[in-house]
Chains A and B, each alone.
Chain A
Amino acid sequence: AQRVTQPEKLLSVFKGAPVELKCNYSYSGSPELFWYVQYSRQRLQLLLRHISRESIKGFTADLNKGETSFHLKKPFAQEEDSAMYYCALSNAGGTSYGKLTFGQGTILTVHP
């Protein structure tokens, strides 16, 4: 069974401080990992995926297969980063393309 764990429900930081949102997963196959974000009154949207190794809005995430983690990091948080963040997992190369398993989400609040 696949499982995604986000240990922090709430995370508060001050503007300009580094931020790290934790995500751990359990999956026996080859996973694809994603971070989705939901800003206030907006729909859920993809922030980044591990396969592309890009930096979006200053956020990066590295897949660590040894520690089964995919933590989201940003060196200098901005107030507009305040949102709900979800880590999600999918099966890579299989037939489960349409299925994402989500963590419980972390509400990030960036204070001025």
Chain B
Amino acid sequence: KAGVTQTPRYLIKTRGQQVTLSCSPISGHRSVSWYQQTPGQGLQFLFEYFSETQRNKGNFPGRFSGRQFSNSRSEMNVSTLELGDSALYLCASSVALSYNEQFFGPGTRLTVL
């Protein structure tokens, strides 16, 4: 099975711009979660989508949003970028059964200048 894929792998934006990141889960996985990874804060949960619905949300401002499509692919959007949004954004997918084993993608490295 192909693993979780994320596009693009690297992105450079300037403050005030917006960005869209994409995640394709493992075939058959219906849950997609997003995490932000920074040296200072570590790995922080952004949100999770299941069957096109946001099921869980972390403590991030409303500038961070996401969606999931009927084929389980997911996108996350960050509007009005700030310097502090520079991070590695990880996507993970799972079958969402009785336990929560998540499979991670390689991440998208976002740099905000």
Contact = CB atoms under 8 A, between A and B. Distances in A.
The answer to whether A and B belong to the same complex is yes
A62 interface: no
A100 B101 contact: no
Interface stretch (B12-20, B75-83, B104-112): B104-112
Contacts, number: 69
A51 B3 CA distance: 24
Contacts of B44: 102
Interface residues of B, number: 29
Interface residues of A, number: 24
25 contacts: A32-B99, A34-B100, A34-B101, A43-B106, A43-B107, A46-B102, A49-B99, A51-B99, A97-B94, A97-B99, A98-B31, A98-B33, A98-B48, A98-B55, A98-B94, A98-B100, A98-B102, A99-B48, A100-B35, A100-B100, A100-B102, A101-B45, A102-B44, A103-B42, A105-B43
